[in-house]
Amino acid sequence: MVIILKKNADKASVSRLEEMLKNKGVSANHIEGATQNIIGLVGDTSAIDVENLLAQDCVENVRRVQEPYKKANRKFHPDDTVIPVRDTIIGNGSLQVIAGPCSVENEDQIMTTAIACKKAGATMLRGGAFKPRTSPYSFQGLGKEGIELLIKARKETGLPIVTEIMNGADLDLFADVDVIQVGARNMQNFELLKALGKCGKPVLLKRGLANTLEELLMSAEYIMAGGNMNVIFCERGIRTFETMTRNTLDISAVPLLKQKSHLPVCVDPSHATGIISLIEPMSLSAVVAGADALEIEVHCDPKSALSDGGQQLTPEKFTEVMTKIKDICAYLGRPLGK
């Protein structure tokens, strides 16, 4: 981190700044230039608040030269993180396909869909029990009963289950869930992230609708700072000026996150595009870009779905998409599942 001092900074203010930096455990190196004086900081600057420095009388500007995330940073952890989930592994070069309905609606719906997803080659099962809906009048999910039905579906199919948490107070209900999803709308719910930091279970952390990749990395850092290193990023599209798709899928996020971080990356083409005909090309693009996992919405009868009916694939369409995904995995030499 570099602090640029004001031209006529008074000595007392600079001394106060130095004392403050010393207390933060970093060493300050002064460089006197012909027109500008600067202070270079050496040490762990992750706990230094840039806004606080800018509030000091003698400070003109502050530049970070190191990323503010440490535990999620590939610089300090060069090897890929691999996350075991039952007898599958995320992040070891294989591709995991997480498929299932937007919401768990009833036993027949989740069982039929789960069996069809497994038959088509999915390696994990998704389904929302607690649903973050834009309208309070829309279906809010079955809650605890939804999780119990997912567990039943896992027993039947052997597929590990992925489901979303909205409130840290519900964490006990997720004791038998394999991967806990944090939805886009909760990416910066820091109290929830802290609670997940203490739970140790794999977390699928979705990118917020209007969040930068650095903010996503910082949210992962929250979970990791609590001691839970099992975080998987999920790119699910961001809000842009485009209106033809539900969101805009940022494929560049995949290689970029993998360069910046050692954590696995998942792509959700369903919420990213909201358009059935785009699920296949976006899934294939994500795999080629290096995604470790895909999350795809599939419903046994999308026309009767209680949420996101327009973007969920029928089992027949999902089977077609999976055929292409298998082809691309074979071409890239990437195993599907395991």
Give the binding site for ligand PEP (CB under 6 A). 102, 128, 132, 164, 183-185, 206, 236, 268, 271
Bridge partner list, 27: 42
Q: Which stretch binds Mn ion (CB under 5 A): 135-143, 153-161, 235-243, 306-314?
A: 306-314
- Nearer of residues 62 and 238 to ligand PEP, judged by Cβ: 238
- For residue 308, state whether it binds Mn ion (rule: CB under 5 A): yes
DSSP notation for 65-130: -S-S-STTBGGG--SPP-EEETTEEESSS-BEEEEE-SB---HHHHHHHHHHHHHHT-SEEE-BSS
Interface residue with Mn ion, options 83, 90, 95, 102 (CB under 5 A): 102
Tell which residue, 98, 105, 110, 187, has the closest CA to residue 140.
Answer: 105
**CB nearer to ligand PEP: pick between 184 and 192:** 184
Beta bridge partners of 313: 298
- Least distance (Å) between residue 10 CB and ligand PEP: 50
Q: How far apart are CA 248 and CA 239, in angstroms?
A: 6
Dmax over CA atoms of the chain, in Å, equals 76
CB of 297 to Mn ion, least distance (A): 6
The residue type of 246 is: R
**Which 8-state DSSP code applies to residue 33?**
-
* Residue 250 contact partner, candidates ligand PEP, Mn ion, none, CB within 5 to 8 A by sort of partner: none
Smallest distance from ligand PEP to CB 38, Å: 42
How many of the chain's residues bind Mn ion (CB under 5 A)?
Answer: 2
Q: Which of residues 226-285 bind Mn ion (CB under 5 A)?
A: none
Closest distance to ligand PEP from the beta carbon of 26 (Å):
37
DSSP string covering 247-299, please? Answer: SB--TTHHHHHHHHBSS-EEE-HHHHH--HHHHHHHHHHHHHHT-SEEEEEB-
**Between residues 199 and 238, which has the closer beta carbon with respect to ligand PEP?**
238
164 binds, among Mn ion, ligand PEP, none (CB under 5 to 8 A by kind): ligand PEP
